[in-house]
Structure 1
Amino acid sequence: MANTKSNMLPLGTKAPDFNLIDTVDNTKKSLNELKGTTGTLVMFICNHCPFVIHVSSELSQLAKDYISKGINCIAISSNDAENFPQDRPELMTKNAIENDYIFPYLYDQTQEVAKAYDAACTPDFFLFDGDLKLVYTGQLDDSRPGNGQPVTGKDIRTVMNALINKEAVDPNQKPSMGCSIKWMRTN
């Protein structure tokens, strides 16, 4: 199991736009149509990463807890599905249904979106405010597979609550950690 950390995109960065296929309903969706009024959580995940599997129920719960408060969640898989077939779009659909993801699970086939966000690992989290300016890039919480810490979503929940309450967000943020994004091989 690799331990790759987030690259920590600078706070205040404007969310890069995208238009990707949602593997659940097979339609193209853009950031502009998916963004929340209060905030938008963009999560780079995949099907097979043990770090993502470890937190998948919390990802589902985050969306259920915050969508009604104006914070929308969006998941994107940018892994090379040719060399990592467990991350193919049809298996993303199955994974989204099994994990009760009520958010779009988008496929970044060209990996251009992951590069635009400077995403490095799965899971990698980017929380933007209502103006799509980055207020948080970091870990979900302190839990990792096998470390005995419960999955709570504490770090992201703290920032989401601050956004909702129009409070300042602590700029000292711990990077997320997980499996590296599986980049396409270039010849």
Structure 2
Amino acid sequence: MAQTSSNIIPLGTIAPKFKLKDANSNNEYSFDDLKGSKGTLVVFICNHCPFVLHVINEIVMIANDYRVQGIGVIAISSNDIEKYPQDSPELMTEFAFENKIDFPYLFDGTQEVAKAYNAACTPDFYLFDNQDRLFYHGQMDDSRPGNGISLSGSDLRSAIDALIYNRSLKEPQKPSIGCSIKWK
């Protein structure tokens, strides 16, 4: 299983705007349609990556815990579906249903959104404040498939709590690690 780290992006970077189709509802949504009153979590995932499969339940729990506190949650899949048909929008819908994803799971078929975000891996976590400035870009926690560390979501949860409660973040932010985005 090859590992790719997320790219370093300066904190304060403005969230790139987009309009993409949601695999759950078949509606098109923009970043502005989905952002939260206190901030927005954008996560690049896909259906087949073992790193995503390892953390998907925690992603759903984090979404459920924080959406009620004003955090918008958006998942995006940008993989090349010709080479990786298991990441097609139809199978995204099934994946969302099976994993109880009830927040938007958007398909980036052109890969323009992933490029605009400088996304590198799945999962890749971006937390923006209520002014759409990047507040956190790092890992969920130290757990990886097969490393024996329990999944907790501690790094991402700490970042969201810091954003909501106006606290500073611990430095440095550790990059997320996962499968590379499957580029065309």
**What range describes the TM-score normalised by the shorter chain of this pair?**
over 0.9
**Could you list the runs of 5+ residues in structure 1 that have no partner in the other structure?**
none
Partner residue in 2 for 1:32: 32
What's the TM-score once normalised by structure 2's chain length?
0.99
**How does 1:10-49 map onto structure 2 within 5 Å?**
10-49=10-49
Q: Which amino acid in structure 2 is aligned with residue 9 of structure 1?
A: I
Q: Which amino acid in structure 2 is aligned with residue 148 of structure 1?
A: G
**Pair 128,171 (structure 1): closer, same or farther in 2 beyond 3 Å:** farther
**How does 1:9-88 map onto structure 2 within 5 Å?**
9-88=9-88
SS in 1 for 2:68: helix
Instruction: Tell me if 1:147 matches 2:147.
Output: yes
Q: Which amino acid in structure 1 is aligned with residue 19 of structure 2?
A: N
Deviation of 1:41 (Å): 0.4
**In structure 2, distance between residues paired with 1:135 and 1:18:** 19
**In structure 1, distance between residues paired with 2:77 and 2:175:** 19
Deviation of 1:127 (Å): 0.3
Partner residue in 1 for 2:6: 6
**Alignment length (residue pairs):** 184
**In structure 2, distance between residues paired with 1:115 and 1:177:** 17
Q: Which amino acid in structure 1 is aligned with residue 22 of structure 2?
A: D
**How does 1:116-131 map onto structure 2 within 5 Å?**
116-131=116-131
Deviation of 1:2 (Å): 1.1
SS in 1 for 2:137: strand
Q: Which amino acid in structure 1 is aligned with residue 50 of structure 2?
A: P
What's the TM-score once normalised by structure 1's chain length?
0.97
Q: Which amino acid in structure 1 is aligned with residue 53 of structure 2?
A: I
SS in 1 for 2:48: coil
**In structure 2, distance between residues paired with 1:61 and 1:8:** 26
Deviation of 1:171 (Å): 4.1
**In structure 2, distance between residues paired with 1:120 and 1:100:** 25
**Paired-residue identity, %:** 60
**In structure 1, distance between residues paired with 2:183 and 2:53:** 20
Q: List, as ranges, runs of 4+ consecutive aligned residues in structure 1 with deviation greater than 2 Å.
A: none
